[in-house]
């Protein structure tokens, strides 16, 4: 008579318990990796959008003649290459003529509301009327294409200790898998054409 060797019930239960412990550990590690991935995606997207907006604004602000109560005044005269040309030079002081006025604000996707999370720019036209700038504020194709800078939850532009120093802060909050990730980009800008 020959006996076949088989697993006992206890051996089978111990093996299943070990497999279950290993599987729970692997699933926990995978869940942690997914959460970290989502965190990195949300944080990096918020950081990228905030930095892009702050860089684009600070580039324009740095060319300004003056900053007064949320309004940037750009020089009026440019040469054929787009460089600003002084109106006059009195001794050692270069003076720029005031030109287009610019404001940055948060609005909805149309640019007409007084609140929202889309960053907009408006400027005066040749008739000194304020008009929303869809070329600066929207993706190519205009308002129907969507905002260039969505999810902006904070915008602060303050004059520094001197009239030609501006501190710019842009906060972007980006939703990713039910979590909200925020980043604030801050720039200290010098008005290079300040009168």
Parse the chain into domains and list their residue ranges.
30-190
Compute φ and ψ for 121, nearest 5 degrees.
Answer: -125, 135
- Which runs of E-coded beta strand occur in the chain? 66-68, 71-75, 88-90, 93-95, 98-107, 118-124, 130-132, 152-159, 165-176, 179-190
Question: How far, rounded to the nearest angstrom, does the alpha carbon of residue 81 sit from its chain's CA centroid?
Answer: 29
Name the maximum alpha-carbon separation found in the chain: 120
Determine the Cα–Cα distance for residues 79 and 77; give it in Å rounded to an integer. 7
Residue 113's pLDDT is 76
Residue 3's pLDDT is 65
Q: How many of the other CB atoms lie within 10 Å of CB of 62?
A: 15
pLDDT values of the chain reduced to their tens digit, one per residue, 195 residues: 566 777 788 888 999 999 999 999 999 999 999 989 988 888 898 999 999 999 999 999 998 888 887 889 888 888 887 778 887 766 667 778 888 899 999 999 888 878 899 999 999 876 778 888 989 999 988 888 889 999 999 999 998 888 889 999 999 998 888 888 999 999 999 988 876
Nearest C-alpha neighbor of 193 from the set 67, 53, 68, 56: 67
Contact 95, 88 (CB under 8 A): yes
Determine the Cα–Cα distance for residues 80 and 10; give it in Å rounded to an integer. 89
Residue 84's pLDDT is 81
Residue 176's pLDDT is 82
Q: State the DSSP code for 70.
A: T
Give CA angle at 133 (171, 183), nearest 5°. 10
Place of tokens 């720039």: 187
């Amino acid at each position: 008579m020959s006996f076949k060797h088989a697993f006992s019930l206890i051996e089978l239960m111990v093996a299943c318990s070990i497999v279950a412990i290993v599987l729970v550990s692997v699933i926990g590690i995978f869940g942690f990796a997914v959460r970290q991935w989502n965190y990195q995606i949300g944080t990096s997207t918020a950081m990228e959008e905030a930095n892009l907006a702050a860089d684009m604004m600070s580039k324009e602000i740095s060319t300004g003649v003056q900053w007064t109560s949320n309004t940037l005044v750009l020089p009026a005269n440019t040469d054929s290459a787009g460089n600003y040309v002084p109106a006059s030079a009195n001794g050692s002081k270069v003076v720029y003529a005031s030109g287009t006025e610019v404001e940055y604000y948060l609005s909805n996707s149309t640019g007409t509301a007084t609140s929202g999370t889309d960053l907009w720019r408006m400027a005066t036209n040749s008739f000194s009327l304020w008009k929303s700038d869809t070329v600066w504020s929207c993706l190519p194709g205009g308002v129907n294409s969507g905002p260039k800078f969505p999810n902006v939850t904070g915008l602060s532009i303050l004059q520094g200790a001197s009239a030609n120093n501006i501190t710019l802060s842009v906060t972007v909050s980006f939703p990713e898998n039910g979590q909200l990730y925020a980043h604030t980009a801050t720039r200290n800008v010098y008005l290079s054409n300040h009168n």
